[in-house]
Amino acid sequence: MPQDVFAPWTDPNEKPIIQFQNVTKRFGDFTAIDDLTIDIYEREFFALLGPSGCGKTTMMRMLAGFETPTEGTILLSGQDIAPVPPNKRAVNMMFQSYALFPHLSIWDNIAFGLRRDKRPKDEVSQRVEEMLRLTRLEKFARRKPHQISGGQRQRVALARSLAKAPKLLLLDEPLGALDKKLRQETQFELMDIQEKTGTTFVIVTHDQEEAMTVASRVAVMDHGKIIQVATPADIYEAPNSTYVADFIGDVNLIRGKATGKDGDRLRIAWAEGQPEIVGTPNREFANGDTVHFAIRPEKVAISSEKPDSPNAIPGKVHDIAYLGNISTYHVELAGGQIIKAQTANNRRISRRSFTWEDNVWLSFTDTAGVLLET
Amino acid sequence: MRSITNFATTLVIGAAAIYGVLSTYWFLSTLSGPGFALGFASVAGSLTKFALQAAISVAVIYLVWKFLSEDRKEPVVKNLLIGTPYLWLLALFLVPFVIVLKISLSDTALAIPPYTPTLDLAAGWKGITDFFSELDFENFVWLTEDDLYWKAYLSSLKIALTSTILTLLVGFPIAYGMARAPTEWRATLLMLVILPFWTSFLIRVYSWMGILSQEGYLNQLLMSLGLISEPLIILNTNVAVYIGIVYTYLPFMILPIYSALEKLDGSLLEAAEDLGCSRLSAFWLVTAPLSKQGVIAGSFLVFIPTLGEFVIPSLLGGSKTLMIGKVLWEEFFSNRDWPVASAVAVVLLLILVIPIILFQRNEQKQREIDG
Amino acid sequence: MRRFSWFNATSLTLGFAFLYLPMVILVIYSFNASKLVTVWAGFSTKWYGELLQNDAFLDAAWVTVKVAVMSSTLATVLGTIAAIVMIRAGRFYGRTLFSGMIYAPLVMPEVITGLSLLLLFIGIGLDRGVLTIVLAHTTFSMCYVSVVVSSRLVSFDQSLEEAALDLGCSPFQAFRLVTLPIIAPAVISGWLLAFTLSLDDLVIASFTAGPSATTLPMKIWSSVRLGVSPEINALSTLMIAVVTLGVISASIISKRGAVKQQREEQAAERAEAE
């Protein structure tokens, strides 16, 4: 698994390719990027994830050179890129709309950037052929953009932005226009191409699944700030805030107060007359501190008898969502809070274990959840 | 078979309707004409005649409609709908052209109408053959012999071409500025371009006469600024004609270019810059080719009507300004040489066919790209 | 893109100055007291007074309005029918010729249209006067109406008509109750276009009008050929004022309608959200 080995951000000797240093960008009164500092390393597949308006596109446009930071500096390979215009940057961008030139053939679109560099003719055609092969577009070279499908257009846009072999490739919602199935295929294709070319990719997306699938690291953004930067697994298993936990995947959030410690375990009181939740904190909580307990539905087990588990809470089945591979039970607790529990349907049984209004027990281990401050 | 009966029914209804309309017109024209002065008897007479004709026409339409089976009504209505504008255009657009063509092949004569031959149907077949045998291409030969005509055609082409280029040079930056203007401004700017369309063409041309004349506002301004000491002679020269054409046809150039530029996706320009273009080369490599259709459409919209322009050269041009529209007008009204005027019109039309077909092709191509 | 760049601002300013300055000068000098049009001799409205006493101009204006109303109404009816035929009738015998005849007058030089119609009227022995001008104007302006209306018909969702038929309308009712209200704005602008084309026309009217009828453009023409005159300046100012008021109020009305519709849509969405 290259993913496990590839972790330049843990190596203090590694030089980052991009450095954002206290970058702020304001449009009039609106602050799009707020004092942001981040390092991105060579060969990374870095995802900027967040809802629309969180500043992720502004970050990307600053890298491409279409916006300049109001404050702070952006370094590319250690050099300030502020004075470099977009056409002189070793950075290329794949546009959300693809921005394919409608009057040029696929071949000419891919050759466009190479020709601007005044490269010799045979070098241009060699490189274009190479790109066409890479993106499996050889057959469509002579067509115009409106004569090919959406998925093919997406590949042309990728080929065109890769043709100049940029140090850094920016992808703005690259798969946004594709339907779900094609999008999933293309995600793997993107990863494949990224590995083959060894280019650093920075992708902007609002689709958390896409970010999780393709990226080596994900930066979750909100209101111009980066909330958390981590590998997809860490983002999912160890979110640093309820915002991240809630944004990525499905989560149950229970708000309570720390009441005491049992060794490295922390007890949380969360509702009158209910058993306390026991969790494992990764930071210090004093007694009486507010704690947000976050647990993924698939880590919550459901049973009819009270199980022998550090955490067992009674409740009543409120709703059932059958999704084929899994079922999600919405269980109402005594205080009215709804907790989601997921079970994998790994046996083909028509018999449903539980049905509406059944009294059930929810249980989870004392390491299954994450304890968050905010 | 069905369609033939439908067609016949349509013809009957249509003929009755036309008969009714014509009799109404005749009646109204006797009322307003000298008939009214002839006294009560004649008015009463024409009224009876009109009542009879109107009754016939209404009765025919009513009866045919009444006895038409339900499933025939729709095709007959459809035929009538197609037939009305069709006949109108045939009678008032196509037939007049055939007449122009015919007269262009006739000879000038001191008669009313001032040409020969006239078709004498009363003489039967012989009348028709005589008529055709007397038609010839003499007028067209004449057009090649007198250098006034081919010089006028050439000079019209030259003036139309030059002023199209000038209009493009003036219009493109305006269209570009409009397309790049803030969104909330665009509707207003567009209205400001369209507004002169609605103002009288004649007045717009006329407004330049006061500006360009020898003691006009432009000369007054330039002299008071001390830029010139002698008034410039602009009015009654080709320069004035160019100014007039650029001025009046500018909206025709701006609008298609604007609509092409407005559709242009801003990210295409960013993509070009991202791939290494400077602003200027992005303009030549992306903006220019993508606004090509608009430029072509605008150029034809200026070139085609300018070629046959009459008002501008007559008001702003001088005696040396030769344009074929003016020649035709003078040939007709001053020389009363109808056959030559017709021949001039036929040749002008033949010259126009080429740009019109090219324009149509361009529009077709545009539609294919859009669709 | 947010603000005007200096290049765009300059080209727009110069462009619109070029488009409007001549007319502004014309308007200003229509209030000139002097008979010499190019010399300013103080403010006066006397040329307007003289204009209103000039019977020849008033007669010509009356003829022009009569012709314009009749021809634009006829042209709107015929042009709308022609548009419906072009878009909806499918294939029929001579369709190519028909569409050719619809589009050709748009690019035809006025001198040719005028000449050919005149020769027709003489050929069939029709006395030239108001009627012949109306016929001529109707013929070329119906083509403009048909272009305006058919562009609206193309974008019109045909399933609306089908829904009307499905709900029990006869084809005529479907047209009257559904199609016509929807294409009405295009029909109205077609009428306005035909009206101004007719008001504006000099060349075709000169050919087809006999000695018995003179339109305003013909009257203006015969007087401006002799040079600039203060009366014509006053007349032009009046015409410019009417057109400007008309166009601006029309655009305000249509903009209000659009704004109102947008507001209502937003209100409806908000109501649904709550």
Cβ atoms within 10 Å, residue B274: 28
B339 touches chain C (CB under 8 A): no
Nearest to B286 among A65, A101, A161 (CB): A101
Q: How many domains, chain A?
A: 2
Confidence of residue B116 (pLDDT cuts 50, 70, 90): low
Q: Lowest-pLDDT range, A301-315, B30-44, B305-319?
A: B30-44
Residues 19-58 of C with CB under 8 A from B: 19-20, 22-23, 25-26, 29, 37-38
Residue A273 has φ and ψ, to the nearest 5°, of: 75, 10
- Chain B CB contacts of A97 below 8 Å: 265, 267
C85 touches chain B (CB under 8 A): yes
- Measure the CA–CA gap between A112 and A309, rounded to whole angstroms: 64
State what percent of residues in chain B have pLDDT above 70.
90
Q: Lowest-pLDDT range, A316-325, A350-359, C242-251?
A: A350-359
C91 touches chain B (CB under 8 A): no
- B182–C4 CB contact, under 8 Å: yes
**pLDDT recorded at residue B111:** 63
Same domain flag for A210 and A266? no
C101 touches chain B (CB under 8 A): yes
Say if domain C53-226 classifies as CATH 2.40.50.140.
no
- Chain B CB contacts of C82 below 8 Å: 85, 89
Same domain flag for A319 and A224? no
Mean predicted confidence (pLDDT) in C192-206: 92
- Measure the CA–CA gap between B215 and B232, rounded to whole angstroms: 9
- Model confidence pLDDT, tens digit, residues B249-270: 999 999 999 999 998 888 999 9
pLDDT at C222 exceeding the cut of 60? yes
**pLDDT recorded at residue A231:** 93
From the CA of B167, how many Å to the nearest CA of chain C?
11
**pLDDT recorded at residue B333:** 85
- A87–B276 CB contact, under 8 Å: yes
From the CA of B254, how many Å to the nearest CA of chain A?
22
What is the domain partition of chain B in residue ranges?
Answer: 2-98, 105-136, 139-370
- Measure the CA–CA gap between A70 and A65, rounded to whole angstroms: 13
Diameter of chain C by CA atoms?
A: 73
Q: At what angle do helices C110-123 and C130-154 cross, to 10 degrees?
A: 130
Nearest to A87 among B278, B286, B290 (CB): B278
Mean predicted confidence (pLDDT) in A214-231: 92
Same domain flag for A39 and A182? yes
C78 touches chain B (CB under 8 A): yes
**Domain finish residue from A215, A246, A277:** A246
Could you tell me which CATH number the domain at B139-370 has? 1.10.3720.10
- Measure the CA–CA gap between C181 and B267, rounded to whole angstroms: 39
Q: Lowest-pLDDT range, C37-41, C135-139, C249-253?
A: C37-41
Name the nearest CA neighbour of A26 among A74, A63, A58, A57. Answer: A58
CATH number at residue A346: 2.40.50.140
Same domain flag for A98 and A231? yes
Q: Could you tell me which residues come within 8 angstroms of residue A99 by beta carbon, excluding any fewer than 6 positions away?
A: A157, B265, B267, B268, B270, B271
Same domain flag for A239 and A261? no
**Domain finish residue from A246, A263, A294:** A246
What is the rounded average pLDDT for all residues in chain A? 88
**pLDDT recorded at residue B15:** 87
**pLDDT recorded at residue C20:** 93
Q: Residue B212 corresponds to which amino acid?
A: L
What is the rounded average pLDDT for all residues in chain C? 87
**Domain finish residue from A206, A222, A246:** A246
**pLDDT recorded at residue C1:** 42
Question: 3-state secondary structure string, chain B?
Answer: CHHHHHHHHHHHHHHHHHHHHHHHHHHHHHHHCHHHHHCHHHHHHHHHHHHHHHHHHHHHHHHHHHCCCHHHHHHHHHHHHHHHHHHHHHHHHHHHHHHHHHHHCCEECCCCCCEECCCCHHHHHHHHHHHHHCCCCHHHHHHHHCHHHHHHHHHHHHHHHHHHHHHHHHHHHHHHHHHCCCHHHHHHHHHHHHHHHHCCHHHHHHHHHHHHCCCCHHHHHHHHCCCCCCCCCCCCCHHHHHHHHHHHHHHHHHHHHHHHHHHCCHHHHHHHHHCCCCHHHHHHHHHHHHCHHHHHHHHHHHHHHHHCCCHHHHHCCCCCCCCHHHHHHHHHHCCCCHHHHHHHHHHHHHHHHHHHHHHHHHHHHHHHHHC
**pLDDT recorded at residue B40:** 67
Same domain flag for A288 and A222? no
Size of interface B-C (CB pairs under 8 A): 227
Q: Quick one: how far is CA A145 from the chain centroid?
A: 30
C240 touches chain B (CB under 8 A): yes
B325 touches chain C (CB under 8 A): yes
Same domain flag for A222 and A262? no
- Chain C CB contacts of B81 below 8 Å: 81, 84-85, 89
Confidence of residue C2 (pLDDT cuts 50, 70, 90): low
Cβ atoms within 10 Å, residue A69: 21
In terms of pLDDT, which residue wins out, A348 or B225? B225
- Model confidence pLDDT, tens digit, residues B330-347: 888 888 888 888 888 999
CATH number at residue A43: 3.40.50.300
Q: Could you tell me which residues come within 8 angstroms of residue C151 by beta carbon, excluding any fewer than 6 positions away?
A: C186
Same domain flag for A157 and A265? no
SS3 of residue A4 by DSSP: helix
- Measure the CA–CA gap between A323 and C138, rounded to whole angstroms: 68
- Chain C CB contacts of B250 below 8 Å: 15, 18-19
Mean predicted confidence (pLDDT) in B182-197: 88
Same domain flag for A151 and A263? no
Report whether B281 contacts A116 (CB < 8 A). Answer: yes
**pLDDT recorded at residue B302:** 93
From the CA of C267, how many Å to the nearest CA of chain B?
22
pLDDT at A370 exceeding the cut of 80? yes
Name the nearest CA neighbour of B217 among B229, B208, B226. Answer: B208
pLDDT at A203 exceeding the cut of 70? yes
pLDDT at A39 exceeding the cut of 80? yes
Residue A37 has φ and ψ, to the nearest 5°, of: -130, 130
Q: At what angle do helices C230-273 and B201-212 cross, to 10 degrees?
A: 130
**pLDDT recorded at residue B35:** 45
- Chain C CB contacts of B200 below 8 Å: 199-200, 217, 236, 239, 243
From the CA of B56, how many Å to the nearest CA of chain C?
24
pLDDT at A349 exceeding the cut of 70? no
In terms of pLDDT, which residue wins out, B32 or C187? C187
Domain range enclosing A336: 250-372
Cβ atoms within 10 Å, residue C162: 12
pLDDT at C124 exceeding the cut of 90? no
The DSSP letter of residue A373 is: -
B359 touches chain C (CB under 8 A): yes
- A161–B274 CB contact, under 8 Å: yes
Q: Quick one: how far is CA B361 from the chain centroid?
A: 19
Mean predicted confidence (pLDDT) in B121-144: 73
What is the domain partition of chain C in residue ranges?
Answer: 53-226
Confidence of residue A1 (pLDDT cuts 50, 70, 90): very low
C102 touches chain B (CB under 8 A): yes
In terms of pLDDT, which residue wins out, A78 or C210? A78
**pLDDT recorded at residue B103:** 86
pLDDT at A3 exceeding the cut of 80? no
Structure tokens at B157: 């082409």
State what percent of residues in chain B have pLDDT above 90.
31
- Give the global pTM: 0.82
- Model confidence pLDDT, tens digit, residues C225-262: 888 888 888 999 998 898 889 888 888 888 888 888 88
Alpha helices in chain C (DSSP H): 6-29, 46-53, 55-88, 95-107, 110-123, 130-154, 158-166, 171-174, 180-200, 203-208, 216-224, 230-273
Report whether C182 contacts C156 (CB < 8 A). Answer: yes
B342 touches chain C (CB under 8 A): yes
Nearest to B273 among A87, A96, A102 (CB): A87
- Model confidence pLDDT, tens digit, residues A96-140: 889 999 889 999 999 999 988 888 999 999 999 999 998 889 999
Same domain flag for A184 and A289? no
From the CA of B190, how many Å to the nearest CA of chain A?
26
